[in-house]
Amino acid sequence: MSARAPEDSSAGATGPAPVPTRTVTTGTVPSRPRVLAVAGSDPSGGAGIQADLKSIAAAGGYGMAAVTALTVQNTQGVRDVHVPPATFLAAQLEALADDVHVDAVKIGMLGSAPVAEAVGAWLDGLPRAATTTRPAVVLDPVMVATSGDRLLDPEAERAVRDLLGRVDVVTPNLPELAVLAQEPTVTDWAAALEQARRLAARHGVLVVAKGGHLGQAAGSAAGAEHGAPDALVGPDGVLVELAGERLRTTSTHGSGCSLSSGLATRFARTGDWADALHGTKAWLTAAIRAGEALRVGEGHGPVDHLVGLRGLPADTAPAPAGPGSGGDLVALWWEDAAPVRAAIDDLAFVRALGDGTLGADHFRTYLEQDAIYLREYARCLARASELAPTRAEQAFWAGGAHGALVTELDLHTRWLGGEPQDVPASPTTSAYLDHLRAAGDDYATLVAAVLPCYWIYQDVGERLAARNHPLHPYAAWLGTYADESFAAATREAAAILRRAAAAADARTRDRMAAAFRTACEHELAFFDQTGLPGPSGAARGADRRRAEPVVAG
């Protein structure tokens, strides 16, 4: 770990500017948005509606799918395409609009001009039935698959272009951008941004320019030097530009589908396109990185949409509460804390740490409080060690206390240039520590209270680490998040909690659930305490008044 202070905080993403949008919102953002994918089917599960449904779920939405076309494909290529009558698609869309309030729509493969026209007619009719708001609409203008196979009739390109004036955002790759702009394919990123701006101005639409194909147009194997940048571009130019590391992997099948449906879902949750692109890019990078481990197919494999669930038990189905069901309870508590975890991801502090724009003062304030917290947290872990029923658990918590005092605190003092001097614990830090101490001698409740510090740090850290690159001002810090031994310790701490929950009676389990949830809320408050202003500051969505210490007993 280097003691290098963060450099100029203006580095990294260019800050969000006001984004024009045709989407009408009611001012309330649904925490579980209902998102409709209008797209083709990919039986290999990596692209099309199969990818969309997983991507929507991973972003916290409820996914629906109206199928435009059936493909015969695997990870190596597309063998055939069957496009059912457009009237059948229109009937699917109509049935949904008659019944369901749709918060966002993602449009993918359309296949033929009549299908594109049917979708256009449906968009023209929105909103309808009992709905009062128009869904946000993202168009991924799928023309050619990663394998090089065509997925759109050449004569349908005009029909897809006609949709541009009826959607909020379009997400073309570089060849698709050129087709929509009716210009030659560009080969460098600056030209792509300019072409995207022209397209945005001509059709009054936001364009997400994607750099996944950079280098390919020139005929070379896309190299690391090109990176994998993405940008949100409006009629007046770039609104947000996100640098991205180009991962050396073939697991990118369906990455465009996944990006567009994740974007639509996150926008429905946040009401902010720039935020939605930030979150989607961070998730997708982690999903691409994890794709190879799925070992699906011999060609371009899928991304791992559910990378965020990988710390959980493989089977997350809830079981009825009762003795012996402790394992599932812990997964349920984690799921129950999903809004708090989403609010942490959305914090201005966490976003700025990820994109490298966090100011040195804010980082220092955070580190000082974290150093104070860690010393006391180590005492709580030592207390857990004292109370532990088995030698293995006793050793585990003692090791955790040692790690917090030595490894982690060393990191802080080196970064701060010494122990924090004359810095009092903030009310937020004190409240969190009071909550941990309130478990008293109740081992099960104490374990429930200390686990979120491991788990949330590891979970948020995985996404932050995915955004790291050698020039990141916090590169050394973010690098520590990717530490596998910390991930292993988190899994072990969760396993101990599972065992404790399985052995506990109903009253203890209730106390454990409350201690876990409240600790999650303290985590949110802790990350948000540096006073960094931002649209998502002040813990959007989570009720901070619940962050009171839970008294054991």
Ligand X SMILES: Cc1ncc(COP(=O)(O)O)c(N)n1
Ligand Y SMILES: Nc1ncnc2c1ncn2[C@@H]1O[C@H](COP(=O)(O)OP(=O)(O)OP(=O)(O)O)[C@@H](O)[C@H]1O
Which CB, 362 or 463, lies closer to ligand Y?
463
Q: Which tokens is 138 given?
A: 């993202």
Identity of the residue, 83 or 547, whose beta carbon is nearer to ligand X in the bound complex: 83
Residues from 168 through 197 that contact ligand Y (CB under 6 A): 173
Site residues for ligand Y, 99-158, by CB under 6 A, read 146
CB of 51 to ligand X, least distance (A): 8
Q: Among 255-263, 318-326, 374-382, 443-451, which window interacts with ligand Y (CB under 6 A)?
A: 255-263
Distance, CA of 16 to CA of 373 (rounded, Å): 33
Task: Compare residues 46 and 452 and give the one whose CB is closer to ligand Y.
Answer: 46
Is 288 a binding residue for ligand Y by CB under 6 A? The answer is yes
Identify residues 97-116 at the interface with ligand X (CB under 6 A). Answer: 108-109
Q: How many other CB atoms sit within 10 Å of the CB of residue 547?
A: 23
**β-strands 62-74, 77-82 pairing:** antiparallel
Considering only residues 161, 213, 362, 522, which one is a binding residue for ligand Y as defined by CB under 6 A?
A: 213
- Please, are residues 66 and 96 in contact by the beta-carbon 8 Å criterion? yes
By CB under 6 A, name the one of 265, 285, 385, 490 that touches ligand Y: 285
Which of ligand X, ligand Y, none lies near 228, with the C-beta cut-off 5 to 8 A by kind?
Answer: ligand Y
Smallest gap from residue 185 Cβ to ligand Y (A): 12
What amino acid is encoded at 296 in this protein?
V
Q: Three-class SS of residue 37? A: strand
Integer CA distances (angstroms), 321 to 327, 505, 507, 510, 525, in order = 10, 11, 12, 11, 30
Is the CB of 69 or the CB of 343 nearer to ligand X? Answer: 69
d(C-alpha 215, C-alpha 227), whole Å = 10
Give me the least distance between CB of 256 and ligand X, in Å please.
5
Shortest gap between Cβ of 257 and ligand X (angstroms)?
5
63: contact with ligand X by CB under 6 A:
no
CB-neighbour burial class of residue 495 (10 A; exposed 0-12, middle 13-18, buried 19+): middle
Pick between residue 203 and residue 246 the one whose CB is nearest to ligand Y: 246
Nearest alpha-carbon partner for 33 in 333, 255, 355, 276: 276
Work out whether 119 is an interface residue with ligand X (CB under 6 A): no
User: Of these partners, ligand Y, ligand X, none, which one is at the site of residue 284 (CB under 5 to 8 Å by kind)?
Assistant: ligand Y
In the chain, the amino acid numbered 374 is: L
Q: What gap in Å lies between CA 46 and CA 61, rounded to an integer?
A: 18
- Residues 6 or more apart whose Cβ sits within 8 Å of residue 445: 439, 508, 511, 512, 515, 550, 552
What is the Cβ-side half-sphere exposure of residue 263, based on CA atoms within 13 angstroms?
29
What is the C-alpha separation between 109 and 143, in angstroms, rounded?
7
Q: Please identify, using beta-carbon distances, which residue of 230 and 376 lies nearer to ligand Y.
A: 230
Distance of alpha carbon 97 from alpha carbon 128, whole angstroms: 7
Residue of 12, 211, 215, 301 interacting with ligand Y (CB under 6 A):
211
- Binding residues (CB under 6 A) for ligand X: these are 39-42, 47-48, 71, 108-109, 142, 145-146, 151, 253-257
- Binding residues (CB under 6 A) for ligand Y: these are 146, 173, 210-213, 228, 230, 244, 246-247, 249, 252, 254-257, 259, 281, 284-285, 288
